[in-house]
Amino acid sequence: MMEMSRRFRNSALITLSATVLLCTAVDVIGKERHLEQIRVVLMSRAARCATCHIGNDASTWESPGLNLYGQRLGELPPDDTLADRIAAMERGPSASDSGEDRTRKQRDQDIDGDGVPNWIEVLALANPGDANDVPKQNRIERIQRVVRCNICHDQTNLPGKQGLDANPHNEFGELLSETTTEKKQKSDSSVEDRRRMAERIPILSRIESIKRKKPKGSKATYWEKLRLMRLPADRKDNPSPEGLKKFRKRAASQRSAKKRDPTRGMIDPAHNNEGFLQDAENLD
Ligand code: HEC
Ligand code: HEC
């Protein structure tokens, strides 16, 4: 059943990318989806119930109240998944928005108005709905340095060039651009064929299928580096051994139904947890 819904979503994606080819402006948005989805997965892993709710002890809740951030998410179309609503809130105004729309979308990006965007506060374990709770500056800078196009590209928007020539991949982007979920790679398939196949697979599914891969010389996998706010393809940017050990221990207990901390994460039967987050189901 789940396999089937995945396939449906994949074919929807194929139709989407065919449409996207007709319109360069939309193409850019399509590429930004890669970053957007990774960002929301990282947020969903860093979140606590208290990121959106008042109080953090679900066992005492009858009808859990929502803080400012949760309230705003609750106002967005309820048929959209929680992850899509989180992504929508971060998107900000588009060039064609004016007046009220522009102001509202700008306010949505930093709902408590403390000057730090919601997504950074969530990743820094600060409360995005409380203006008195602001992350430390060095934490903000670290998050900004890592969670951007540079996860996969050495550079973006090089002048005078187009497409990938203007946005060269680093080794992580290169790896993902050729990652298909096929068990066996046809030995005679060309790099172009592999890339065309890879492009049709959601980026999170691709990351999931290489989740055990490590950069040369690294103790941490590409994904573990990202979770620990290190640039996956930067050989010099590595988590400390203690940090990695702690992360693995916590990840293992979160995977266990008995040991997991129920106030971590944002998965709850009360939420709509469908959608692209399922592509990352098996990522810690
Ligand atoms: C990213 C924000 C976010 C996080 C994190 C989050 N929730 Fe929610 N939750 C919501 C929103 C928004 C609603 C309102 C329903 C909706 O719009 O989907 C809600 C609704 C609920 C409801 C139903 C409330 C009612 O009165 O019907 C329960 C129960 C709940 N959440 C439990 C949890 C638990 C337990 C956690 C922590 C594991 C959690 N939530 C984490 C955003 C969040
Ligand atoms: C998780 C890795 C990842 C992130 C993050 C990422 N990209 Fe990419 N990007 C790729 C891959 C892989 C491709 C090749 C197409 C594919 O396989 O999906 C690509 C292709 C592109 C292309 C070429 C499109 C074309 O077909 O001509 C552009 C432009 C681009 N990315 C820009 C960006 C920008 C701008 C950002 C930040 C907003 C970004 N990317 C973030 C992985 C990523």
Q: What would the pLDDT profile of 89-103 be if each residue is shown by its tens digit?
A: 999 999 999 899 999
Q: Is the pLDDT at 77 greater than 50, yes or no? A: yes
Q: Determine which helix (DSSP H) or strand (DSSP E) holds 31, and give its type and residue range.
A: helix 24-46
Q: What is the mean pLDDT of the chain?
A: 87
Rounded percentage of the chain residues whose pLDDT exceeds 90: 69
Which residue has the CA at smallest separation from atom 43 of ligand 1? 52
* pTM for this model (two decimals): 0.90
Q: Which ligand lies nearest to the CA atom of residue 201 in the structure?
A: 2
Query: What residue type is assigned to position 120 of the chain?
Result: I
Q: Which residues, at least 6 apart from 180, have a Cβ–Cβ distance to it below 8 Å?
A: 194, 197, 198, 201, 206
Which atom belonging to ligand 2 lies closest to the Cα atom of 148? 37
Confidence (pLDDT) at 26: 41
User: Can you tell me the distance from the alpha carbon of 29 to that of 219, in angstroms, rounded to the nearest whole number?
Assistant: 34
User: Each residue of 135-186: pLDDT tens digit?
Assistant: 999 999 999 999 999 999 998 888 998 888 899 999 999 999 999 877 665 6
31: CA distance to ligand 2 center in Å?
5
User: Each residue of 4-16: pLDDT tens digit?
Assistant: 444 444 444 444 4
CB-CB contact of 41 with 204 (8 Å): yes
Q: Which ligand lies nearest to the CA atom of residue 263 in the structure?
A: 1
Task: State how far Cα 276 lies from the chain centre.
Answer: 10
At residue 28 the predicted structure's pLDDT band, cuts being 50, 70 and 90, is very low
11: CA distance to ligand 2 center in Å?
20
Residue 265: name the closest of 241, 243, 283, 245 by CA.
283
Q: Which residues, at least 6 apart from 171, have a Cβ–Cβ distance to it below 8 Å?
A: 215, 233
Confidence (pLDDT) at 63: 65
Domain ranges, ordered by start, for the chain: 2-280
Q: Which ligand lies nearest to the CA atom of residue 121 in the structure?
A: 1
Which atom belonging to ligand 1 lies closest to the Cα atom of 47? 5
Which residue has the CA at smallest separation from atom 19 of ligand 1? 271
Confidence (pLDDT) at 30: 63
157: CA distance to ligand 2 center in Å?
11
Helix, strand, coil % in the chain, rounded to nearest 5 = 55, 0, 45
User: Can you tell me the distance from the alpha carbon of 251 to that of 123, in angstroms, rounded to the nearest whole number?
Assistant: 16
Is 197 near ligand 2, meaning CB less than 6 Å away?
Answer: no
Confidence (pLDDT) at 205: 95
158: CA distance to ligand 2 center in Å?
13
Angle between the N-to-C axes of helices 82-91 and 99-109, in degrees from 0 to 180, rounded to the nearest 10: 120
Q: Which ligand lies nearest to the CA atom of residue 179 in the structure?
A: 2
Confidence (pLDDT) at 55: 74
Confidence (pLDDT) at 72: 97
Which residue has the CA at smallest separation from atom 43 of ligand 2? 152
User: Can you tell me the distance from the alpha carbon of 85 to that of 235, in angstroms, rounded to the nearest whole number?
Assistant: 34
User: Each residue of 189-220: pLDDT tens digit?
Assistant: 788 888 999 999 999 999 999 999 999 999 99
Which residue has the CA at smallest separation from atom 1 of ligand 1? 52
Is 140 near ligand 2, meaning CB less than 6 Å away?
Answer: no
Q: Which residues, at least 6 apart from 225, have a Cβ–Cβ distance to it below 8 Å?
A: 215, 218, 231, 232, 237, 238, 239
Secondary structure class of 20 (helix, strand, coil): helix
Which residue has the CA at smallest separation from atom 36 of ligand 1? 49
Residue 91: name the closest of 99, 101, 78, 219 by CA.
101
